[in-house]
Each structure stands twice: as structure tokens, then as C-alpha cells.
Amino acid sequence: MSAPVKRPLWLTLCLVVVFLAGLLVRLYDLTDPPADFHPARQYHSATLARGLYAEWGGVVEGLDAGRAMVLGNSEPRIEPPIMEHLAALTYLLAGRELLWIPRLYAILFWLLGGLALAALARRAAGDWGVLIASLFYLLLPYGVSASRAFQPDPLMTALLVAGLWLLVRWWEKPTWRRALWAGLAVGAAVLAKQSVVFIAAGAFLGSVLAARGLKGALRDRQVWLMAALMAAPVLAYNFYGLTAGNLGEQYTMRFFPQLWLDPGFYLRWTRMIDGTVGILPFLLALVGLALLPRGGLRAGLLGWFAGYLVYGFVFAHHIGTHDYYQLPLIPLVALGLAAAGNALVERLLTVDARRLARLVLAGTLLAGSALALYQSYQVLKDGDYRAEPAAWRALGAAVDGDSAAVTGIFDDYGAKSIYYAGVLPTVFPSAAEVAADEAAAADFAAYFAARTEGKRFFVVADDAQAALQPWLIDHLQSTYPLILEDAVYAVYQLAP
């Protein structure tokens, strides 16, 4: 494949505007607490980072350093705490704990991934394709929210895109240096979040098989170098986690092949795709992938898509319930749309009224971008969580910081209680669990007493669960005094 030609000035200016818009919309409401996107997952990372910060000598506001370390160590190591270490180190440099710092890291990684995406789109679909791919990747409303999150997914996705770009560069001109960088980038993506190993393996296999074929790939020492670099970090982490940590516990209750026979599984998966990247863009992107010329990029993207399908079947529960499991779809769909959009543009520019076609095309992209930015702005504006830290600290004071005394229902598994109140509560069974328990059906008061034995406080901090368990709320209101109430919770005293 020939090297990309120089980018025209109009495209450079457009990309500068798009990247600036993508940055500015993500910086809006930067200091709001991280409760806007999967708070349980974000506060898991925040608690872990704070524990590291305290362990390294940082002063924790409103909480004893020893307690901060205990709570941090209580968080499971789901993946290597890369983002958490970066956050804790920057807290030390800043002299205090600032939760917007890891948000800035996530934004930075996503934008850097956008540069690699633009380079890939340039190879795949020309100037208009670069613009279309960048607009989708940077301005998609779901992507704006997800790419601000304090969790490993933005870093993992950016590394995957960078890894594919480096693989394509190796495909264009195989050298030991390019093989080294490609292996390191893809290996880092898998290390950041190892569930993405199937997508990474698919992109890698697609690229190397397109370049060498099966026999040639098996004989190529550069291919073996890349494979080793991709596998070594995650294998080392797994060896450490399984022998010295509790990583084995994280692998339980992850694989549900019985769901493959459930039509609802496919419906939930489809709804997740629609709610994140959109069904229509997804289908158009698949058409775009088919339009790509043969080569390393096409093979790598088709391998990426095949790996995504495997990833979805392996994590059959999560793919239909955790929307951020769709994050690797965003760059894939962006590149597919680049190819499909470029084909449409080329057709439009062959019609007689080419000036009108250009105006219509530019106007459509501008209007779509403005709408996406407005939607993202509204989502961030409507979510105001600044009052929550003080409310949860008040809860900690009301229960004397006694974790053993607290139970309740929480919309985040108690994550904000852990982080702000320093209280690690016991989570009361969900409505589905209560409904499935014969003892609860026979005598809910006795069931409740058994489940709350030794507890002094019951916290209701999940409106959805409260609505599903009216019997629980009726029992609490008729039996126990309400001692503390806030917009985010109600606290009942079960015992003196």
C-alpha cells in the first residue's frame, strides 16, 4: 500500500475544529462527581486510587488514612490498576485528591486514540472518510459520556485503535521496529482490560494473515515477536493475580453459554448496540467494511468485528447489561462509516450539480454534529451530583462510620457510601432474590429480621429497587423510625 498523500488544508482545519469540539464538550462540568456514568464502576476506581494515594503518604480529606487504605484494599483487582496508579500519582503531585484528574486522563487517552483513528481512516477512505470517522468517534453522545469515565475502557479502546494503526503500518512495511511497537500497543490494550483479548486477537490475526498467509505467518519471526509482546503482559498479570491475589474470584460467574439459546440474549445485545452506536450506523458500517479494498486494514477490521462477536458470546451476560462493553464498537463503526460515507461522497461529486452536492453534504455533517453536541451538553448539564458528597458524609457521621451496622438497598452497590462515608455496607437482597425465596414469601417480617440481624441502620438509596419492593418500604415505614432523609437516601434505625 502506498504512503498516504499530504492532507489538504481544508481537512486539517476541519479536524482541528472537530477535535477542539470533542475536547470542549468533554471538559464541560468537569468537576461534577463521577456519578454520571456507571457510578459503581467509577467509584470502585476512585476508592482504589485513594487507597494508593493514602499508602504513598497523601492526606485524605475527611477520612483517616488507614481507613482509606483498608477500603482501597477491599476493592477487587478486576484488571491492573493502571488508571488508578496514574490518578494517585497525580494526586500526590497536586497535593490533594481531585476526582476530575482521572477524568482528564480518560479524555486525553480518547483524543489520542482519535488521532490514530484519523490515520486509519485516511488509509481506508480518503479525506471525507477521515472527517466522517472523526466526527462519529469524537461527537457520538454515548462516546462523550463513556470517554470521561474513571475506568479502564477509554484507555483500552484508544490502545486498541493505536495497535491496529501500528499493525497496518507493519503490514505496509514490515520492520522489526514496527513489529515491536505494534506488539507493545496491542499487548497494552489487553493488559488494560483483558476481556478485550478476543477483539485484539481478531485484529492481529486478520492483519498478519492478510500480510503473510497462515504458513508465512507461522514462519515469520516478526509475527512471533508481536504475538509474544501481546501475550506476555496479560499472562504475567494473570499468573500474579491467580497466585498472589484474588483474580480467580473475578472469573467466576462470567461465562453463561446457556444464554446463547435464549432469544432475549440477542434482543438485549441488539438494544445495547442501538443505545450506544445506533443500529443504523452499525449496519451502514458493516456495508462500509465490505467496501474497503483488500489489505491489512480491511483484514484487521474484519478480524476486529469477528473478535467482537466472540467477545459478546463469551461475556453473554455483560454484553446485554453493561453498555460500556460496546465501547470497542465505536472506532469500528467510525471506520466502517468512513468507507461507506466516502463511497457516497464520491458518487455525489460525480453528479452535474457538484457544488450543490458539496453544500448538502457539508450542511448534513454540520447539522448532525451540532445535534450530537447539543445532546451531549444536555446529558452533562442535567446530571448534577455536587450535593451528593456532603449527603453521604452526613450518613457516615449518623452511623458512626460503623460498616458492620449498615445494610440497605443501593443503586451503586454502596460505592458512594464507601467512598464518601467510609462505610462498607451489606447489600440487602434484590427484588428478584426476595421473590425467589420461599421464606420471604411465607413471612417477610421474619425474613427481614434474619437478613438484618446485628444491623442498626437500613439505608434506602435505590428508587428502582424501592419501587420493586413495596413490601420492604411498607415494613420499614411501619416498624422503624426514619432518622435521616436526603434527596439521595432515607435511613431507618433498626436497633438502638
Q: What band does 343 get if pLDDT is binned at 50, 70 and 90?
A: confident
> According to the model, what pLDDT value does residue 162 have?
97
Q: What band does 78 get if pLDDT is binned at 50, 70 and 90?
A: confident
| pLDDT above 90 (res 345) | no
Helix (H, G, I), strand (E, B) or coil at 343: helix
Give the residue-averaged pLDDT of 314-334: 95
Cell of 454: 446485628
Backbone angles phi, psi at 162, to 5 degrees: -60, -40
> According to the model, what pLDDT value does residue 1 have?
43
398-429 in b/e burial notation, b at 16+ Cβ within 10 A? Answer: bbebebebbbbbbbbbbbbbbbbbbbbbeebb
| pLDDT above 80 (res 460) | yes
Beta-carbon neighbour count of residue 386 at 10 Å? 11
Q: What band does 121 get if pLDDT is binned at 50, 70 and 90?
A: very high
The helix/strand count (H/E) of the chain reads as: 24, 5
Kindly report which listed range (46-55, 126-135, 251-260, 326-335) carries the lowest average pLDDT score: 251-260
Q: What band does 247 get if pLDDT is binned at 50, 70 and 90?
A: low
Kindly report which listed range (21-30, 246-255, 382-391) carries the lowest average pLDDT score: 246-255
This prediction's pTM: 0.92
> According to the model, what pLDDT value does residue 254 have?
67
Side-chain-side CA neighbours of 89 within 13 Å: the count stands at 7
> According to the model, what pLDDT value does residue 252 have?
60
| pLDDT above 80 (res 85) | yes
Helix (H, G, I), strand (E, B) or coil at 193: coil
Cell of 146: 463513556
| pLDDT above 70 (res 102) | yes
According to DSSP, the residues that pair with 457 across neighbouring strands are 406, 493
| pLDDT above 80 (res 246) | no
Q: Find the helix or strand (DSSP H, E) in which 206 lies.
A: helix 197-219
**CA-closest candidate to residue 200, choices 320, 338, 295, 306:** 306
Question: How far is Cα 404 from Cα 454, in angstroms, rounded to an integer?
Answer: 8
Cβ atoms 76, 250 nearer than 8 A: yes
Cell of 14: 476541519
**CA-closest candidate to residue 205, choices 213, 221, 315:** 213
Q: Check residue 195 and report its DSSP letter.
A: G
> According to the model, what pLDDT value does residue 250 have?
57
